[in-house]
Amino acid sequence: MITITLSILVITYRHDDFDELTFSMLNTPTSAAPRISGLFTTLGAISVFVIIGMQTLLRLNKRTRRRLPWSLSSRYQILENMYITKFATCLSLLQLTIYVLYSVGGLGMRAAQRLLFGDDHIAFGTARGVFYLIPLFTFLLPFLTIYLHRRYRLERDSSIEANLCLKSTGMEGACNYEDAIRKLWKTANSERLIKKNIWSNT
């Protein structure tokens, strides 16, 4: 994603002469405005498709978890996949919201330049610069990440405990208990045979 963004930025500004008078280094040159609009549209569409893809994976994992009789380790892996997908989706939605606010504000300001500011380029440049404050809210991401991580970890642990309880009761629990005892006896017998062979060889 970073490589694609940098490549599009290079292509966008490659043919710009930067001779236009600007009041802030943050403002986009007028000649590059259509290409910047295309860049914003492309990145927004990519973000939407990524979120749709993650939601599709989440639904598939939920459906797979309900329909197929998986083992305990498989259920644990599916739960991990579901919580990671939810976690990434929440962060992506926050970033997309900030991005959409910034893009709509900037594009709307540029489209309504004549209507709102007339020929006052200083006021127009100042108003455009204000919208660059919106991306500063991405500094909230670390705090949101910590909160979501703790929340999803608690949900995951409670789900795992519920699965373990289901696996240890009823007919399924009896089968698992019998299987565990059988494996324990096999391990004990194999260790006994190994010790017997060692003593017989000595």
Asked if pLDDT for residue 194 goes beyond 60, the answer is: no
Chain CA centroid to CA 58, Å:
12
Q: Taking the C-alpha atoms of 41, 47, 50 and 54 in order, what is their torsion angle to the nearest 10 degrees?
A: -140
**What per-residue string of b and e applies to 49-59 under the rule 16 or more CB within 10 Å gives b?**
eebeebeebbe
Assess whether 96 and 182 both reside in one domain. Answer: no
Assess whether 100 and 32 both reside in one domain. Answer: yes
pLDDT tens-digit profile of 4-59? 667 766 776 676 666 666 665 556 666 777 777 777 788 788 888 888 988 888 88
User: pTM value?
Assistant: 0.58
Assess whether 124 and 59 both reside in one domain. Answer: yes
Instruction: Show Cβ contacts of residue 20 under 8 Å, excluding neighbours closer than 6 positions.
Output: 29, 30, 31
Provide the domain count of the chain.
2
Alpha-carbon distances, residue 116 vs 24, 111, 119, 133, 147 (angstroms):
19, 10, 9, 20, 41
Query: Residue 43 is part of which domain span?
Result: 1-165
Q: What is the pLDDT of residue 149?
A: 80
Assess whether 78 and 145 both reside in one domain. Answer: yes
Assess whether 97 and 184 both reside in one domain. Answer: no
In whole numbers, what is the pLDDT of the chain averaged over residues?
Answer: 72
pLDDT tens-digit profile of 91-128? 888 888 887 887 777 777 777 777 777 777 777 777 77
pLDDT tens-digit profile of 133-189? 666 767 777 888 888 888 877 877 776 666 665 555 556 556 666 666 676 666 656
